[in-house]
Amino acid sequence: MGSQVMHLSSPRRRNPVSRWLAADTLQGIQRQRALLGYLFLAPTIIGLLLFIVGPMLGSLALSFYKWNVFRPPEFIGFANFERLFADPRVFTGFKNTFILVVMTVTILEVVAFLLALLVNRLASRTLSTFFRTAYFLPVLLSGASVAVTLGYMFHKDFGVINYYLGFLGIEKIPWLNSSDWVLIAVSLTTVWRNLGFTFIIYLGGISSLPTEVLEAAEVDGAQGWRKITKIVLPLLSPTILFATVTDIIKMLQFFDEPFIMTRGGPGDASRTAVMLLYESGFGNLEFGYGSAIALVLFIVILAVTAFQFVMSRRWVFYR
């Protein structure tokens, strides 16, 4: 009787062979899952290596060479970078790029935020859908088509913009022929094309704000501009960071609009860093020098983005 009780109360001992088989089966399942995950990731990893990492490393190596396709590459060390920092056109190109970035991103963020506030307050779902679609449609257009169309609109003599400004008694403005106006015209063209993307980002951020916080603020007397500055903007700060970072990275690579509308003119008044890169590499066949410009531009973009994230610790609030 005692032996039966001891037999019933003692834990069942598993065969060592069965334990080994169970562990081996579990490891096999984990290996299969890991292999399946790698297979799903393989296209992305291969594309990243072939089309991003590979060209970046190739451009880095090429920046230390002199090569024009017709002759074998010649190693020249830092000569391309010495030429770059002594070239006044490179300084002008980067200066124009920074001016365009400041103008364009400032207008983009302010106008997109205000439009998102207005559309979010619309009670009619039909009107809200119409405005979302209307503002986003230009994003789907190619940069070339937008630049050609807006280039005609900004034309001094027969452009529709100067035509309507004439009704206000304003003389014809040489938008694309004056160094004082050309960057403004290029900036406004870029704003029109990219406004919808930033608008959708802000609209999504505003729509996801906690309604209980907004209602509590209204009960406490926060209305109008006070509500926007004290409640909405702090809650929306992560969205603002994302929008500004993506817009600045995009605008630091200005190319389509100034290249098609002005070819960098008049003179070098609208020539950007990417245009210099393109002209050096594909116009003059100086691929080493073009790669050096690309590397400097990459470092600038990386530094500006890092600076934004460092400074964001002071004004971005995560809830």
Specify the 3-state DSSP secondary structure of 188: helix
CATH number of the domain to which 213 belongs: 1.10.3720.10
Q: Is residue 282 part of a domain?
A: yes
Specify the 3-state DSSP secondary structure of 74: strand
Q: Is residue 100 part of a domain?
A: yes
Q: Which domain holds residue 90?
A: 79-315
Gap between the Cα atoms of 100 and 256, Å rounded: 13
Q: Is residue 70 part of a domain?
A: no
Provide the number of structural domains found in the chain: 1
Q: Is residue 63 part of a domain?
A: no
pTM for this entry? 0.84
Q: Is residue 137 part of a domain?
A: yes
Query: 169-176: long-range contacts (C-beta < 8 A, 24 or more apart)?
Result: 176/151, 176/261, 176/262
Q: Is residue 231 part of a domain?
A: yes
Q: Is residue 99 part of a domain?
A: yes
Gap between the Cα atoms of 164 and 94, Å rounded: 34
Predicted confidence pLDDT, tens digits, the chain (319 residues): 444 444 444 445 555 555 555 556 767 677 888 888 889 989 999 999 998 888 889 989 999 999 988 888 899 999 999 999 999 999 999 999 999 999 999 999 999 999 999 998 887 889 989 999 999 999 998 888 999 999 999 998 889 999 999 998 889 999 999 999 999 999 999 999 999 999 999 999 998 888 777 777 777 666 778 878 888 888 899 999 999 999 999 999 989 899 999 998 888 999 999 999 999 988 889 999 999 999 999 999 999 999 999 999 888 888 6
Q: Is residue 43 part of a domain?
A: no
* C-alpha angle 43-49-55 in degrees, rounded to nearest 5: 140
